[in-house]
């Protein structure tokens, strides 16, 4: 008897669940990850250096594509931190700082990796698109924090150099779902280019620290 009652309840629950799923579908039809990927593949074509493989997501990209109604669990946040912490490569020779003049050029350059760009030319960092850096450059964006006087305020201690290198190399390691590109991990900037951008931030002669 109790067994039968349970089966009945189960059947009822299943029906209710099916109904509510249906009702939900009507309100907002689900577009699952597979359907989204299929639509993307049907909607794009390879051009220049941008192949269809650019539509593939790594785990970090997939997790960070959730809309604001579906926040990440703490386990998922930890996954992002672990994977991206492991991805950071520090300079083998221990040299963190290059030439701030080159760094300024990289910060000013917005091209690179677009299908309209020459793949033979080095990509820029486009830092000014989102950050204030040198005071003289007033055409800076505000998606990222101001980095004016970055080195002057923080000094050049080993820990600060290492932290900043990691931030440029793979920002997802220290700030999951940061909107900052992973310049090192995704091969946007070379190790030397990152050194030069580091110098723009830390060198006392850099216009950032004037």
Partner 1 sequence: MKRKLTAARSLLWALAAVTVAGSAVAQSSSPEDEIAQYRAMFGDDNPAELWQTRGEALWKQPRGPKNVALAQVCDLGLGVGVAAGAYAQLPRYFSDTGQVQDLESRLVTCMVRGQGFTEPEAIQQHFGKGDAKSDLEALSAYLVAQSDGKPMHVPFDRPEERAAYELGKQVFFYRAGTHDFSCATCHSQTGKRIRLQILPNLTTAEGATAAYTTWPAYRISEGEFRTMEWRIQDCFRQQRLPQLKYLSPVAIALTEYLARNADGGVIKAPGLKR
Of 2-10, 28-36, 159-167, 201-209, the segment contacting partner 1 by CB under 8 A is: 28-36
Q: Is the Cβ–Cβ distance between 200 and 149 less than 8 Å?
A: no
**Minimum separation from the CB atom of position 29 to partner 1 (A):** 4
User: Closer to partner 1 at the Cβ: 129 or 160?
Assistant: 129
Contacts of 197 (CB under 8 A, 6+ apart): 103, 106, 107, 125, 127, 168, 189
**Minimum separation from the CB atom of position 17 to partner 1 (A):** 20
28 binds partner 1 (CB under 8 A): yes
Residue of 14, 61, 78, 205 interacting with partner 1 (CB under 8 A):
61
Structure tokens at 146: 């101001």
**Distance between CA atoms of residues 193 and 106, nearest Å:** 7
Q: Is the Cβ–Cβ distance between 155 and 164 less than 8 Å?
A: no
User: Closer to partner 1 at the Cβ: 21 or 55?
Assistant: 55
Residue of 116, 136, 158, 159 interacting with partner 1 (CB under 8 A):
116
136 binds partner 1 (CB under 8 A): no
Cα radius of gyration rounded to whole Å, the chain = 24
Task: Pick the closest to residue 2 from 10, 16, 13, 17 (CA basis).
Answer: 10
175 binds partner 1 (CB under 8 A): no
60 binds partner 1 (CB under 8 A): yes
Q: Is the dihedral of CA 197, 198, 199, 204 positive or negative?
A: positive
66 binds partner 1 (CB under 8 A): yes
**Minimum separation from the CB atom of position 113 to partner 1 (A):** 5
Of 89-97, 108-116, 150-158, 196-204, the segment contacting partner 1 by CB under 8 A is: 108-116
Interacting residue ranges for partner 1, rule: CB under 8 A: 26-31, 35-36, 39-40, 42-47, 50-52, 54-57, 60-61, 64-68, 113-116, 128-130, 138-143, 172, 179, 181-182, 186-188
């Amino acid at each position: 008897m109790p067994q039968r009652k349970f089966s009945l309840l189960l059947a009822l629950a299943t029906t209710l669940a099916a109904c509510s799923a249906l009702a939900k579908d009507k309100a907002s039809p689900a577009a699952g990850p597979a359907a989204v990927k299929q639509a993307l593949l049907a909607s794009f074509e390879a051009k220049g250096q941008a192949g269809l493989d650019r539509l593939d997501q790594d785990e970090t990209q997939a997790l960070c594509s959730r809309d604001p109604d579906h926040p990440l669990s703490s386990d998922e946040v930890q996954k992002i931190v672990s994977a991206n912490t492991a991805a950071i490569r520090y300079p083998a020779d221990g040299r963190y700082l290059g030439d701030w003049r080159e760094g300024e050029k990289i910060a000013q350059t917005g091209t690179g990796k677009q299908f309209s760009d020459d793949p033979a030319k080095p990509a820029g960092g486009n830092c000014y698109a989102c950050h204030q850096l040198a005071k003289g450059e007033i055409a800076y964006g505000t998606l990222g924090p101001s980095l004016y006087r970055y080195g002057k305020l923080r000094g050049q201690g080993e820990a600060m150099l290492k932290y900043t290198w990691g931030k440029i190399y793979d920002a997802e390691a220290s700030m999951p779902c940061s909107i900052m590109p992973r310049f090192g991990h995704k091969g946007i900037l070379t190790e030397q280019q990152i050194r030069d951008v580091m110098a723009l931030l830390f060198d006392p002669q850099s216009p950032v620290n004037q």
